[in-house]
A and B are shown apart, each in its own frame.
Chain A
Amino acid sequence: MKPRAVILSLSSDYGCQVQMSNFPELLEMLSTFELGYWQLVSSGDMPQDYDVAIIEGAVTTDEQVALLEKVRSIASCVIAIGACAVTGGVPALASGGPVRGQLKDVYGSGSSKVGIGARKPEPIKHYIEVDFSIPGCPIEPAELSRTLQRALRALTDNPERQSMCGECKTAENICMWTQNVPCLGLIARSGCNAKCVSRGRACTACRGIAHDANLASAFAFADSMGCPPEEFDALLKIYNAMSDQELRKEAVGKIAAQEVAS
């Protein structure tokens, strides 16, 4: 009997699911599961029982929290896919201030009628235990395929730990910094073959901050290249507003203190 999988979305633009539907090899891999539900393409209801839950999107409402808790109680394996689900992604940019205030900024005086049950956007792992995380905006389909293989064999997650620069060199790219473009490859988690830089754009760390990242040193380097800590941190926030907050604050503070001292 095939294990049953469901694919559902919280708050996101469904980009990762579109990405999934574009890759025949991944679809072939998915066919080793009984696909009980796929939010992007199915109109039916979620089945009562399933083994694997693949979840896209950040958590932004009370309703989603309840859904997540239910999913976790049913699925033996939960896979978070995409930056929104893994780090909070772009939605988490709004995690800085109180939700009510932000609703008011956007919807004006009528804001009391919208956003009932809205929460500060957060990654899934802040609410439930996640077995596998597939980062990226959008995800690398091959990475999801490999992860599903691991899930099928009841193996544990094996995330890339290194930061992007090494991978970017292997792809024989010219460093963005040498062209005076701030690039987050210094601290971004590797695994995409430096896709953006290979196409002439700076890395935005959509895959999250690397386990091995040295934030303090990266901030100091950026500063020395004329990208002050606040600016570097603002770039980092696009996908990682909720990641390593303490370390980031520390790095920013350290440089400020050095500047005061000198």
Chain B
Amino acid sequence: MYFRILAKDHVSTFVEGLAHVYEVFAPVKNESGFSFEQVSDGSSIVLDYPMTIIPPKKYFVRSKESLFRYDTHSGDVVESELEVTPRVLFGVHACDINALLMTDKVFLGDYEDPYYKARREHTLIVGVSCMPVLTCMCDTWGTGEVQQGCDLFLTDLGDRYFVTCHSVEGAHVLDTFADTHEATAEDTKALEEHLRAFREAFSRPVDATSLQLLFDAKYNDELWEEIGEACLSCGACSAVCPTCYCFDVNDELDADGNAGARVRCWDSCMNSQFAEVAGGHDFRPTRASRVRYRFYHKFWSYPARYGKTLCVGCGRCDVACKVNINPRRIIGALQEGARS
């Protein structure tokens, strides 16, 4: 592994160097909190942020995007190319990087989503370490660290970052745009200290053992009625979730009606229309059944297909949900009788 040390004073210059060649998106502070935005000025970015409102998924599956345009009369598709600009996502937390690895499985599986793929292939990811806030539960899923999925990862050592290079392209941009030096034994010691502090900062452990079995056994538990009664069906949870990727597709016509676009937008399985078929039969007619489906997908279906729980413990839903519906509570309720 190629390790380098980047002084915090030099981050700005690094970002500005990158911005000459790439579009750079990084967390910035605004009146709403923190969000990923395009930056050119390195001093505007904030790397020690708790969490952004919306995860970086917005750069790969946009909240709303045209898939293609067509001629309404001939059905000919008139645009079949996607303009992608080389990009850097700078300052992505480990949980969000792991979330991208999870959506990769879906969008780059047997059928590849060409839009997602093109954007993914043209985006460099620079990760950054963090310290957990109260809602974080990456310790449960082991998603607080990255083995893959980024090009560079910066670990905060106080006045400097310990930089791990995960890809040759990452090493290349680091060599070109950043003023770094070799890691010393002292840096390694500081890294160990950071890792220890990170581990010790988690104070609310969640026991997720036997989750699938318990979910099945309690599939008809009154827990779901209780949760369903509280759910606002607002879709805030899925909007902020880095691993929620459901979408809807609709047609939008130009004013003259001669051409139109097939438009994809984020959807939520909390939406009452989600599982409704033409003619009106709804396979998930109650709020309870919809909330249960969302967690079933995260804790049962996705793991059954791809081997991992579809949650990275970022805690965004915990913050976004007004009525306290979140993985921690659901898992807690499922585990209740089994707890030692």
Contacts and interface: CB of A to CB of B under 8 A. Distances in A.
Nearest to B290: A212
B236 interface: yes
Interface string A119-162: 00000000000000000000000000110010010000000011
A211 interface: yes
B271 A162 contact: yes
B253 A149 contact: yes
Given A172-B53, A173-B32, A149 B257 contact: yes
A169 B287 contact: no
Interface stretch (A11-19, A24-32, A52-60): A24-32
Contacts of A210: 233
A65 interface: no
A32 B287 CA distance: 42
Interface residues of A, number: 37
B325 to A, nearest CB: 10
Given A162-B271, A212-B271, A170 B266 contact: yes
A107 interface: no
Given A161-B271, A212-B272, A217-B323, A166 B255 contact: no
A216 B197 CA distance: 43
Interface string A160-179: 01111111111011110100
Nearest to B253: A149
A200 B32 CA distance: 9
B247 to A, nearest CB: 12
A86 interface: no
A169 B255 contact: no
B268 A166 contact: yes
Contacts of B268: 162, 166
A130 to B, nearest CB: 20
B336 interface: no
B253 A211 contact: no
Contacts, number: 99
Contacts of B272: 161, 211-212
Summarize B's interface: helix, strand, loop or mixed.
Answer: loop
Contact of A217 (B232, B253, B256): B232
B234 A145 contact: no
A213 interface: yes
Contacts of A211: 272
A214 B233 contact: yes
A159 to B, nearest CB: 10
Contacts of A174: 31-33, 53
Interface residues of B, number: 34
B125 interface: no
Given A161-B273, A165-B322, A186 B253 contact: no
Contacts of B230: 214, 217
B252 A213 contact: no
Contact of A172 (B54, B238, B270): B54
B54 A170 contact: yes
B233 A163 contact: yes
B235 interface: yes
Contacts of B188: none
B233 A162 contact: yes
Contacts of A169: 53-54, 236, 239-240, 320
A172 B255 CA distance: 29
Interface string B33-71: 101000000000000000011100000000100000000
Contact of B239 (A170, A175, A213, A214): A170
A237 to B, nearest CB: 20
Contacts of B52: 172
A28 B255 CA distance: 6
B253 A162 contact: no
Question: Which of B229, B230, B231, B255: most chain A CB closer than 10 A?
Answer: B255
A178 B38 CA distance: 26
A118 to B, nearest CB: 38
Given A28-B256, A162-B233, A212-B234, 6 more contacts: A146-B253, A165-B235, A166-B235, A166-B236, A169-B236, A200-B31
Question: Closest 3 CB pairs between A and B?
Answer: A166-B235, A165-B234, A174-B32
Interface of B: 31-33, 35, 52-54, 63, 229-236, 238-240, 252-253, 255-257, 266, 268, 270-273, 287, 320, 322-323
